[in-house]
Structure 1
Amino acid sequence: MKVLIHPTYFPSIAHFVAMVNAEKLVFEISDNYQKQTYRNRATIFGANGKLDLNVPVHYTQKNRQLYKNVAISNIDNWQDLHLKSLESAYSASPFFEFYIDDLKPLFKTEANTIMDFNFKCIKTIFECLQLPFEHETTEHFDKEPKNTLDARPLANSRKETVQNFKSYAQVFDDKHGFLNNLSILDLLFNEGPNSIIYLESQKLNL
């Protein structure tokens, strides 16, 4: 089935379940930007539980902006902070050393717009999974697309649908138990090449 989805920052496992199992993958690039979504945020598993990594953006609520035009604010060294957070959270995971060198360039080069940066992150994850990144993008916004699985609500953190994915070993699960539907980075660092089998076997709740 054709799947319509937002390009988000190191997308959630639910996003990747939708993308990996899509017959045709289409990214929504024609919508307005919305705050408090996963467009500029990823959630990982830190020593104290869930940890949000937020990409600062230049955005004003007064004037609507297209998502693709929203610029990243590079005043603070957020990329260095995010990389250090990943190292702190996952350095003890089984596959951290295997993948981190592929991810580091994303945090070493200044990023411009949040959408372009998200596409780079997604492309890098597809390469880590050794999957072809074949996709299309929208030319206009369609509120109710036909013959399409509309997975765009997955980007909305305020109305997030609970996912019941199968548990896997996580670094700090002895302290906090299993945390469901984190960023794809959590699955990648903990499960490595088995991530593909995991993603293909999960059922999405939309």
Structure 2
Amino acid sequence: MKFSTALEQIDITITMSLIHPTYFPNIAHISAIVSETKLVFEVCDNYQKQTFRNRTEIYGANGKLALTVPVSYTQKNRQQYKDVRISKTENWQSQHLKSLDSAYKMSPFYEFYIDDLMPLFIEEFDFLLDVNLKCFELLSDCLEIAIPFTLTEEFIHPKEADNDFRSLANAKIASEFSFDNYTQVFTEKHGFLSNLSVLDVLFNEGPNAMNYLTSQKEKL
């Protein structure tokens, strides 16, 4: 398979932070890496279902809404994360775009950023990893950050990583984090929802999103 960015050889003697690339990562995920200088994406572990590798959560009119990228994967035939293909049975890109429009069209900065994110919804992808790397590329542009990264060529043992953030891909621990409030579109209906996709911060806070994300790292 091809990757959407140039790669360099991993030197595990350099201080590094290890994390999974996820689909429109949540606040915990982004806050963990915004100040990193050496980032390594783990892609050689066995793929696990029900994680943020193929899912993100946004704030819809009825509360928290999960957007899931369909994948072709069975527990019987184990695959490494980098080899998981996207299922072609659903028009997920169109569905997700409609959901974002419905959820955030009244937010202050939706119109400002949505065009920059459109490549994710119009390009054709075969592998989940390519989707998630594209997410990271587009979000980095929107947040005006430049974090160099590499991809693993084999599974990295926890003892070899200075900062191991791979657990943040586990959807079960997402609710454990309580971040500072900011204005959300449907706060008056459902209250503040913490640790949603970084898109929620971006569309509501705009240029202040980076300041907010940086300030939340101490809460991890």
Aligned residue number for residue 172 of structure 2:
158
Q: Which runs of 5+ in 2 are unaligned?
A: 1-14
TM-score, scaled relative to structure 2: 0.89
CA drift of 1:160 comes to 3.7
Aligned residue number for residue 138 of structure 2:
124
**Quick check: 1:154–1:161 contact (8 Å CA) kept in 2?**
no
TM-score, scaled relative to structure 1: 0.95
Aligned residue number for residue 18 of structure 1:
32
**Quick check: 2:18–2:161 contact (8 Å CA) kept in 1?**
no
Residue identity matched to 2:177: Q
Establish whether residue 3 from structure 1 lines up as the match of residue 17 from structure 2.
Answer: yes
Q: Matches of 1:145 and 1:161 in 2, distance apart?
A: 26
Matches within 5 A, 1:25-104: 25-104=39-118
**Quick check: 2:59–2:196 contact (8 Å CA) kept in 1?**
yes
Residue identity matched to 2:179: F
CA drift of 1:108 comes to 1.1
Q: Matches of 2:139 and 2:25 in 1, distance apart?
A: 10
Q: Which runs of 5+ in 1 are unaligned?
A: none
The percent identity for this pair of structures is 57
CA drift of 1:97 comes to 0.4
CA drift of 1:143 comes to 3.1
Residue identity matched to 1:143: H
Give a deviation string over 1:76-125, Cα, whole Å, max 9, x none. 21110000000000000000000000111211122110011100011100
List structure 1 segments (4+ residues) > 3 angstroms apart after TM superposition.
none
SS of the aligned residue for 1:145 comes to helix
Give a deviation string over 1:152-180, Cα, whole Å, max 9, x none. 00001124461121110000001111100
**Quick check: 1:123–1:133 contact (8 Å CA) kept in 2?**
no
Establish whether residue 172 from structure 1 lines up as the match of residue 186 from structure 2.
Answer: yes
- Paired positions, count: 206
CA drift of 1:23 comes to 2.9
CA drift of 1:147 comes to 5.1
The counterpart of 1:105, out of the listed 116, 119, 126, is 119
CA drift of 1:201 comes to 1.0
| 1:144–1:161 distance in 2 versus 1, CA, 3 Å | farther
Residue identity matched to 1:146: E
SS of the aligned residue for 2:180 comes to coil
Question: CA RMSD, aligned part only?
Answer: 1.4
